[in-house]
């Protein structure tokens, strides 16, 4: 797995998510398996099969999150600047075609949330904006054609 850049806040959230899975969800599934096992014949026990499948999925998810954590590199927010668009900066842009203004924060994949305006650094829009300065226009190829976004401001 490649290096995953994240903020300290994102790192802490990931730790909390893993801890919740290990201390709450894992024991709950183990209890469900034990209850299903106590009901007798396992060969025709749908509850047992479902609980075992849920256990496998949970363990896989825990493993994936731990791998992401192992490959995490924390972003030193004190070294960020607003000279150009970069990860962890908030950028206000204007769509040249319709004049609509939008604001995005460029974040790591694990912290992306479009509803909150947090774009993953790997998205086409974020990639096109990276390195741009205030006043520059990013030309992005999107499914609907060429999107031109003017950078209005950059902040932290």
Rounded Cα–Cα distance for residues 103 and 154 (Å): 10
Residue 153: pLDDT band (50, 70, 90) is very high
Whether residue 91 is found in the same domain as residue 63: no
Cβ contact 73:5 at 8 Å: yes
Report field, pTM of the whole predicted structure over 0.95: no
Whether residue 149 is found in the same domain as residue 82: yes
Cβ contact 119:136 at 8 Å: no
Q: Which residue has the tokens 């909150």?
A: 116
Residue 88: pLDDT band (50, 70, 90) is confident
Looking at every residue in the chain, the average pLDDT score rounds to 88
Rounded Cα–Cα distance for residues 107 and 50 (Å): 36
Number of domains in the chain: 2
Q: Which two tokens stand for residue 138?
A: 């990013």
Of the two residues 153 and 4, the one the predictor is more confident about is 153
Residue 78: pLDDT band (50, 70, 90) is confident
At residue 1, the pLDDT reads: 61
* Domain boundary, last residue among 74, 103, 125: 74
Rounded Cα–Cα distance for residues 55 and 17 (Å): 16
Checking if the pLDDT of 109 tops 90, the result is no
Whether residue 43 is found in the same domain as residue 83: no
Whether residue 54 is found in the same domain as residue 117: no
Whether residue 50 is found in the same domain as residue 90: no
Whether residue 57 is found in the same domain as residue 86: no
Whether residue 90 is found in the same domain as residue 149: yes
Q: Which helix (H) or strand (E) holds 91?
A: strand 90-95
Whether residue 39 is found in the same domain as residue 53: yes
Whether residue 86 is found in the same domain as residue 139: yes
């Amino acid at each position: 797995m490649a290096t995953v850049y994240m903020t300290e806040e994102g790192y802490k959230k990931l730790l909390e998510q893993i801890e919740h899975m290990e201390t709450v969800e894992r024991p709950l599934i183990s209890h469900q398996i034990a209850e299903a096992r106590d009901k007798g014949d396992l060969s025709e026990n749908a509850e047992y099969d479902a609980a075992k499948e849920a256990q496998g999925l949970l363990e896989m998810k825990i493993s994936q999150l731990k791998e992401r954590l192992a490959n995490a590199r924390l972003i030193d927010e004190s070294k960020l600047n607003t000279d150009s668009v970069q990860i962890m900066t908030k950028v206000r842009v204007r769509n040249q075609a319709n004049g609509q203004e939008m604001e995005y924060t460029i974040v790591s994949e694990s912290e992306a949330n479009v509803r909150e305006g947090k774009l993953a650094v790997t998205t086409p829009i974020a990639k096109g904006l990276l390195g741009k300065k205030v006043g520059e226009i990013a030309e992005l190829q999107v499914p609907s054609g060429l999107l031109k976004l003017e950078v209005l401001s950059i902040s932290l």
